Chains A and B, each alone.
Chain A
Amino acid sequence: MSLRQAVDRSRAYLCLECGICTGSCPVSRFHSAYSPRLTVEKALLFDEEESLRDAEMWACLTCGTCDIRCPSTVDFTGFMRSLRERARQIGQEGVCTHAETIEAVIELQTSAHYRRSTSWMASGKTVGKAKYYYFAGCLPFLDVIFDDIGFEGRRIGTSVIRILNRIGITPAVSEGEVCCGHDAYWTGQTELVETLATTNIRAIRKTGAKKVIFSCPECYYMFKHVYPEIVGDLGFQPVHIFDVLVPHLDSFKFKPVKAKVTYQDPCRLARIEGVIDEPRRALRALPEIDFVEMQRIGKDAVCCASSNWISCSRVNKQIQLDRLEEAISTGARTMVTACPKCNIHLRCAARDDECKIKIDIVDIFVLLADHLGGGKRGT
Chain B
Amino acid sequence: MENAARDGFSLSPGTSVIPVRCSGLIKVSFLLKLFAKGTEGVLVLGCLEQDCRYFNGSTRCGQIVDETRKILELAGIDAAKLGFHLISESQGKEFKKILGRFAKRVGKKRRRRVSASSSR
Contacts and interface: CB of A to CB of B under 8 A. Distances in A.
Contact of A104 (B29, B73, B74): B29
B24 to A, nearest CB: 13
Interface stretch (B5-13, B32-40, B41-49): B32-40
B27 interface: yes
B70 A99 contact: no
B18 interface: no
Interface in A87-101: 99-101
A114 B77 contact: yes
A33 interface: no
A334 interface: no
Contacts of A370: none
A257 interface: no
A101 B75 contact: no
Nearest to B32: A104
B75 A100 contact: no
A185 to B, nearest CB: 20
Contacts of B35: 108, 111
A190 to B, nearest CB: 19
Given A100-B27, A116-B76, A111 B36 contact: yes
Given A109-B75, A141-B74, A145-B28, 15 more contacts: A101-B27, A103-B29, A104-B29, A107-B33, A111-B35, A111-B38, A112-B38, A114-B77, A115-B75, A117-B73, A117-B74, A140-B74, A141-B75, A145-B71, A147-B67
A243 interface: no
B27 A99 contact: yes
B36 A107 contact: yes
Contacts, number: 66
A105 B27 CA distance: 12
A17 interface: no
A141 B77 CA distance: 13
A28 interface: no
A144 B29 contact: no
A175 interface: yes
A104 B77 CA distance: 14
A225 interface: no
A144 B36 contact: no
Closest 3 CB pairs of A and B: A115-B76, A104-B29, A104-B32
A113 interface: yes
A108 B27 contact: no
B33 A104 contact: yes
Interface in A17-46: none
B67 A144 contact: yes
Nearest to A100: B29
Interface residues of B, number: 18
B38 A144 contact: no
20 contacts: A99-B28, A99-B29, A101-B29, A101-B32, A104-B29, A104-B32, A104-B36, A107-B32, A108-B33, A108-B71, A111-B37, A111-B38, A113-B38, A113-B76, A116-B75, A117-B74, A120-B74, A140-B74, A141-B71, A144-B70
B75 A108 contact: yes
A10 interface: no
A339 B37 CA distance: 31
A99 B27 CA distance: 7
Interface in A122-153: 140-141, 144-145, 147
A100 B31 CA distance: 11
Contacts of B33: 100, 104, 107-108
A110 B37 CA distance: 10
Contacts of A120: 74
Contacts of A105: 32, 71, 75
Given A100-B27, A145-B67, A147-B67, A108 B32 contact: yes
Nearest to B39: A111
Contacts of B32: 101, 104-105, 107-108
B36 to A, nearest CB: 4
A136 to B, nearest CB: 11
Contacts of A101: 27-29, 32
Interface string A209-247: 000000000000000000000000000000000000000
A214 to B, nearest CB: 19
Contacts of B75: 105, 108-109, 114-117, 141
Contacts of A99: 27-29
Name, among A103, A104, A116, the residue most crowded by chain B CB atoms within 10 Å (CB to CB): A104
